Structure 1
Amino acid sequence: MTDDDKKIPLSQPDINEDDIEAVARCLRSGRLSRGPWVEEFEAGLAEFIGTKHAIAVSSGTAALHILMVGLGLRPGDEVITTPFSFIASTNCILYAGARPVFVDIDPHSLNLDPRLLDCALTDRTKMILPVHVFGRPCAMDALMSFADQHILDVVEDACEAIGSRYRSQSVGSFGIAAALAFYPNKQITTGEGGAIVTNDPFLAELCRALRNQARAESGASSHYSRLGFNYRITDLQCALGISQLRRIRQLVARRSEVAGWYRELLADVKEIILPVPPEEGAEISWCLFVIRLSDRFGEGDRDLVLERMAENGIECHAYFPVIHREAFIRKELGPIPGSFPVAEAVAARTVALPFSSVMSREQVERVCNALKASLVRRASRRC
């Protein structure tokens, strides 16, 4: 089978022999859960992000859920967030019984537009939950200024952005806490897994308890003071995470190189909009490489491009569908005030291209050639 015959997946984890040996050592130790690998991984994460505490959990979703509960969200509370995100960022607000309040996105960064925060503010607003979409840092100076002015918590959804920086500071270290994720398409992976990072010792202690059924241990006894969860991560996962974290800068740099190939090879394609360069003072740790069809195309055109790419053995996805249009969200929230024309227009035309640190230049060239051919076929049909 030649390279041209092989399917190109949307993402692939970057696993080497050191990763495999790290997991094997954990297996041979017999300490598979609640052991030393969890603590070592947490220490490494805290050092890398620049926070005092890290709490490893079973997923990024678990991290967000624990934070919503730990920070005391209750029914009737409101959280300002983006409709252009993975569904978990909204689900976790709903898990706590609170209400997400959406604001539209910036058309360039695709992140929550801080200029619109004031329109969403009410006397029930308790928190802002910005999402660093695809690894691009949000405008944290404007967000933090607004939050400080109105005494609001900021919880960063940095699940796609480990390694990104804003104003020389690591994403995930701005708000009271942040959530990270380590699914196989992320910059580093533990298979499934996530983490909370924070400088608040009391919140860290509470999050550690909540991930383990809210168990407070005292001597040989265990007591449960509140409703908790089984959101523990295993030592097996953390052994892999420790190994991956040792080479995170290499992995992030490699992903940046792949993103650069895409930008180079697609620079002259007028039918698409490439991701904009990071703003001054920001560094992107690429999680996904998402392009948009130009304004003359619609959602149906985008879907046909996805079909053409699949026919060529190239997996692409539409990232993200807007959250406020999901049927269960409409049922849960009822009429949603406001309008989100930028998020809706962007979501109708996005194409996530195959992306990982293990992609070769030849694979990127094949993806770009197939995309150009798909666009030509689609454009000719519109004439």
Structure 2
Amino acid sequence: MSGKEQACRFIPLSRPQIVQQDIEIVTKVLKSGRLSIGPYTELFEKAIAEYVGVKYVAAVSSGTSALHLILKALNFGKGDLLIVPSFTFVASANVALYENGSVTFVDIDPITMNLDIEHFKTIVEENFNKFRRIFLMAVDVFGHPLDWDKINIFAEKYDVIVVEDSCEALGSEYKGKKVGTFGVAGAFAFYPNKQITTGEGGVVVTNNEKIYKMSVSLRNQGRGEGQGWLSHDYVGYNYRIDEMSAALGWSQMQRLDEIIEKRAKVAERYKILLKDLPLELPAVMDYATKMSWSVYVVRLPQGTPSSVR
């Protein structure tokens, strides 16, 4: 490798930590012949529920699927408005368009990269009587929790329905409480660059039994609980997670705290190494009592020449 090539080496964005236990458990599933709707899906859901602190978890094929099912379970549709941060993954907004709802974007706080609460208030007040209902897709960007006390106090005042997009934030905490639990329902995702991975996959987390039961039905082609394979109560989707993915997720949940601790050490290392460079480093607010560090994002100061970028 030339000196130039060595100087330009990149750290992979999504290099998951796969250990021997993960391989053995996934291999066990493959050998069992039970590759879908099996015991590891339930084990994975139980592990997430216990870790996050919710009653119900529905494992699905992606974080996008999870967000879609939440809106579907809440009967979101035409006449409803979803407020979405202007800085997020496209799925946060797409799921509203799937259901023919309206979307508007709220500006972000340049310090945390999360939504600007004052602008959120303005949007709600301007649209309060213009739509059937107002929803907020509250995103914990890059694993940094939102200021949930401020959001929920205002949301309750105006009957805003809060859905938490925590797809990047498994393990993060706001004032000691796990994210994903501050709205009527939340979603996590498990793409290879996330805190744990299932390859592709996601979960709906909630304490609302109706949202849970509807999510379980709709992920499985709208089948009714305890009914036959050809009995369908709703127009549903094939959003099921497979057993190999669920087994990998369950295995990785056994060491999630260890993974997050390692990410925190890497983040601290970046902070030390980058502190003297002309960069804006990530800010962690006092209320973010635990960061799970989906990614470590730095910003160039405004006006930085494109040649430097």
Q: Does 1:274 align with 2:276?
A: no
Letter in 1 for 2:119: L
Letter in 2 for 1:283: K
Query: Deviation of residue 25 (structure 1)?
Result: 1.0
Which of 28, 35, 43 lines up with 1:32 in the alignment? 35
What residue is the counterpart of 1:71 in the other structure? 74
Residues of 1 paired with 2:33 and 2:272: CA distance?
49
Unaligned runs of 5+ in 2: none
What residue is the counterpart of 1:20 in the other structure? 23
Residues of 2 paired with 1:218 and 1:16: CA distance?
37
Q: Does 1:134 align with 2:142?
A: yes
Which of 138, 151, 159 lines up with 2:167 in the alignment? 159
- TM-score (normalizing by structure 1): 0.76
> Aligned Cα RMSD in Å?
1.7
Give the 4+ runs in structure 1 shifted more than 4 A. 217-221
Query: Deviation of residue 68 (structure 1)?
Result: 1.2
Aligned partners of 1:110 and 1:133 also within 8 Å = yes
Residues of 1 paired with 2:275 and 2:29: CA distance?
46
Letter in 1 for 2:285: P
Residues of 2 paired with 1:285 and 1:10: CA distance?
16
Residues of 2 paired with 1:295 and 1:135: CA distance?
24
Aligned partners of 1:79 and 1:129 also within 8 Å = yes
Query: Deviation of residue 155 (structure 1)?
Result: 0.6
Which aligned pairs between 1:209-220 and structure 2 lie closer than 5 A? 209-220=217-228
What residue is the counterpart of 1:172 in the other structure? 180
Residues of 2 paired with 1:245 and 1:174: CA distance?
21
Per the alignment, in what secondary structure is the counterpart of residue 24 of structure 2?
Answer: helix
Letter in 1 for 2:279: I
Higher helix share: 1
- TM-score (normalizing by structure 2): 0.93
The higher radius of gyration belongs to 1
Query: Deviation of residue 74 (structure 1)?
Result: 1.1
What residue is the counterpart of 2:56 in the other structure? 53
Which aligned pairs between 1:240-259 and structure 2 lie closer than 5 A? 240-259=248-267
What residue is the counterpart of 1:90 in the other structure? 93
Residues of 1 paired with 2:180 and 2:14: CA distance?
23
Per the alignment, in what secondary structure is the counterpart of residue 285 of structure 1?
Answer: coil
Query: Deviation of residue 27 (structure 1)?
Result: 1.0
Which of 144, 153, 163 lines up with 1:145 in the alignment? 153
Distance 1:40 1:155, change over 3 A: same
Query: Deviation of residue 219 (structure 1)?
Result: 4.9
What residue is the counterpart of 2:84 in the other structure? 81
Aligned partners of 2:144 and 2:288 also within 8 Å = no
Q: Which shows bigger deviation, 130-139 or 1-10?
A: 1-10
What residue is the counterpart of 1:291 in the other structure? 298
Residues of 2 paired with 1:189 and 1:281: CA distance?
23
Unaligned runs of 5+ in 1: 306-383
Cα distance per residue 1:224-282 (max 9 Å; x no partner)? 2221100000010010001100000000010111111110000011x210001232453
Residues of 2 paired with 1:291 and 1:69: CA distance?
36
Aligned partners of 1:216 and 1:222 also within 8 Å = no
Aligned partners of 1:34 and 1:234 also within 8 Å = yes
Letter in 2 for 1:38: T
Identity over aligned residues, as a percent?
Answer: 42
Residues of 1 paired with 2:93 and 2:141: CA distance?
14
Letter in 2 for 1:81: V
Residues of 1 paired with 2:53 and 2:31: CA distance?
32
Cα distance per residue 1:112-152 (max 9 Å; x no partner)? 11112221112214211111111000111111111111112
Aligned length: 301
Per the alignment, in what secondary structure is the counterpart of residue 215 of structure 2?
Answer: helix
